[in-house]
Amino acid sequence: MASSRNEAPVTVACLQMEPVFGETAHNVAASIAMIEQAAAKGANLLVLPELCNTGYVFASREEAFSLAEVIPQGASTQAWIDCAARLNIYLVAGITERENESLYNSAVIIGPEGLIGRYRKVHLWGDEALFFEPGNLGFPVFKTRIGTLGCQICYDCWFPESFRMAALQGADIVCVPTNWVPIPGQDPGREAMANILVMAASHTNSLYIAAADRVGIERDQPFIGQSLITSYTGWPVAGPASSKNPEIVLATINLADAKRHRNWNDFNQVLKDRRPDVYTLP
């Protein structure tokens, strides 16, 4: 049995909520209420949905600018920083970010001591391209006292390179604020395609993944919920959550296992078996 000094236990919570478009103060207060509930159950790493402070379906770039905030000075980030300090937790939350005349679909990574960093969505989906600039920070990982965290947002999950970049940089878990929408051709008797992609990425990179989705209908756009936490094996350890209702998805995991069990047998290790020398087009 592994020595206790080689363990990295963490209790992860995905906070599936229903933001109200444009009601930033209400949304942040609702998120903090859910954070407090999850922390009372022992959660010390919590993930909130994409753009959870403002809502998602903007009518114009001007409207998006009017709701966007500077990081970390904005009211939403400051409220989450205060909450993380008070509860001694780590938090990843989706936020509409403004930097000068640019807008980003971003996430803040916050710890008990304040802002750790930010992630900007690399792969924009649909009308997002009308409002946001593509992320320009790459796929950073964040070393914390509880482990090394990666971050992605929603459509980033459709690109295997995103998770592979996190794994190659030593991430133990990737936190995914998301606003998944219905996918054409989805079999109602099967897991959501987003769930399948997250499970596959966990398995093929030996990573934990915590994906926090939203629910509800906003300006005629439905969202599918089904937040989940996957093990490094690829199988869910919590969730998928409801497709319609707010919910806290909670799991206690050992982040050390993400690296400890990357050796699948005496011969194969998923990252070391890569062949970059042949991954180029002729």
Indicate which residue of 69, 97, 121, 128 is catalytic.
121
Would you state the pLDDT for residue 5? Answer: 65
Alpha helices by DSSP H, listed for the chain, are: 24-40, 61-67, 75-87, 128-131, 160-168, 193-205, 256-260
18: annotated active-site residue: no
Would you state the pLDDT for residue 1? Answer: 43
pLDDT in tens, 82-119: 999 999 999 999 999 999 999 999 999 999 999 999 99
50: annotated active-site residue: yes
Q: Are 223 and 236 contacting, i.e. CB atoms less than 8 angstroms apart?
A: no
Indicate which residue of 14, 52, 151, 154 is catalytic.
154
Indicate which residue of 14, 18, 50, 83 is catalytic.
50
For the record, the structure tokens of 96 come out as 């509409």
Is CATH 3.60.110.10 the right assignment for the domain spanning 10-260?
yes
Domain boundaries, the chain: 10-260
Q: How long is the chain?
A: 282
Neighbours of 1 (CB within 10 A): 3
Burial class of 192 by CB neighbour count within 10 A (0 to 12, 13 to 18, 19+): buried
62: annotated active-site residue: no
Which residues of the chain have a pLDDT value below 70? 1-5
| pLDDT mean across residues, the chain | 95
Extended beta strands in 200-264, E state: 208-212, 215-218, 221-224, 228-230, 236-238, 247-254
